[in-house]
């Protein structure tokens, strides 16, 4: 289908599209094309297998070179989402995590509401063959599952991006913004949340809570999911840091007196 008309004003902005360890340059180029179809221009690449920039991506982008030119490369999923306030992960199967599962249409409405308050958002897409790992999915607030023919629900990377992007574009009508957790306080960024998670887990390790060792990863992810579902504000995260500090100080005093 041909529908390019450069005389018309373009649409840009929207949530970041984050490709985790994409394998083929051609796929990245087709993703860029799908993004620009839907007015998305923030492309983030986590450890692209064949390096970046990639000539194969440029030829497959079919006129969406501006998206590729603005693409940013990161060495970890955490770094790619650090400045974001709300993140969705795309997945076709359960990862034994307690996270909300929504359709692309539901996610688009929520992303519109979240960004309506000035927050930054993004959607994670995994490698073409294996998809996202548990650790990648753990940084997300919810999981997007595309309802398709259960006997054949396989999507390539660009198709998945196009479906999510299309729903975002169609949800452009007025959507009420999300209520902030605390009046006058912005939503916490992923970097702020992960810093708190890591500090809490260090304190729990010292207290002997996260054991046995083989269960630590799933226990830590479950704790992160609990706090992620709370939609914490920056002020609330600082309060939780204070709680952890108070507990550590109390433990240290008790140990010194014992």
Per-residue pLDDT of the chain (258 residues; tens, 9 = 90+): 455 555 454 555 799 999 999 999 999 999 999 999 999 999 999 999 999 999 999 999 989 999 999 999 999 999 999 999 999 999 865 556 678 899 999 999 999 988 877 889 999 999 988 889 988 999 999 999 999 998 998 899 999 999 999 999 999 855 555 555 555 678 899 999 999 999 999 999 998 999 999 999 999 998 998 998 888 989 999 999 999 999 888 777 777 776
Task: Report the candidate in 28, 175, 165 with the shortest Cα–Cα distance to residue 88.
Answer: 165
Q: What's 83's DSSP letter?
A: T
- Per-domain residue ranges for the chain? 16-170, 190-257
Judge whether 15 and 123 are in contact, CB under 8 Å: yes
- Which pLDDT value is given to residue 95? 57
User: Do residues 222 and 138 touch, judged by C-beta distance below 8 A?
Assistant: no
Q: Tell me if 16-170 shares its fold with 190-257.
A: no
Please, are residues 240 and 246 in contact by the beta-carbon 8 Å criterion? Answer: no
CATH tag, 190-257: 1.10.8
State residue 117's pLDDT score. Answer: 76
| Residues paired with residue 90 on neighbouring β-strands, in sequence order | 144
Cβ pair 91, 143 in contact under 8 A: yes
Nearest to 10 by CA among 43, 45, 44, 35: 35
Backbone angles phi, psi at 140, to 5 degrees: -85, 155
State in words which class domain 16-170 has: alpha beta
pLDDT of residue 186: 83
pLDDT of residue 179: 55
Instruction: Tell me how far CA of residue 203 lies from CA of 212, 232, 258, in angstroms.
Output: 16, 20, 19
R_g over Cα of the chain: 20
- State the Cα angle at 24 between 29 and 16, rounded to 5°: 50
Q: What is the pLDDT of residue 3?
A: 57
């Amino acid at each position: 289908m041909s529908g390019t008309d450069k005389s018309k004003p373009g649409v840009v902005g929207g949530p970041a599209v984050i490709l985790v360890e994409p394998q083929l340059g051609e796929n990245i180029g087709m993703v860029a094309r799908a993004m620009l179809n839907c007015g998305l221009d923030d492309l983030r690449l986590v450890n692209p297998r064949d390096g970046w920039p990639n000539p194969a991506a440029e030829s497959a982008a079919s006129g969406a070179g501006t998206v590729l030119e603005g693409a940013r490369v990161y060495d970890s999923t955490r770094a790619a989402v650090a400045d974001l306030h709300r993140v969705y992960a795309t997945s076709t199967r359960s990862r034994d995590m307690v996270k909300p599962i929504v359709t692309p249409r539901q996610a688009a409405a929520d992303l519109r509401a979240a960004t309506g308050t000035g927050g930054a958002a993004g959607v994670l897409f995994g490698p073409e063959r294996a998809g996202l790992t548990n650790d990648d999915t753990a940084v997300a607030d919810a999981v997007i599952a595309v309802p398709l023919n259960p006997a054949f629900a396989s999507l390539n990377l660009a198709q998945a991006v196009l479906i999510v992007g299309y729903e975002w574009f169609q949800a452009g009508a007025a959507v009420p913004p999300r209520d902030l957790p605390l009046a006058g306080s912005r939503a916490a960024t992923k970097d702020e949340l992960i810093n708190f998670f890591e500090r809490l887990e260090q304190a729990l390790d010292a207290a002997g809570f996260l054991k046995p060792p083989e269960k630590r990863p799933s226990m830590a992810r479950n704790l992160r999911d609990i706090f992620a579902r709370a939609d914490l504000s920056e002020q609330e995260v600082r309060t939780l840091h204070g709680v952890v500090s108070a507990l550590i100080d109390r433990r240290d005093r008790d140990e010194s007196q014992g």
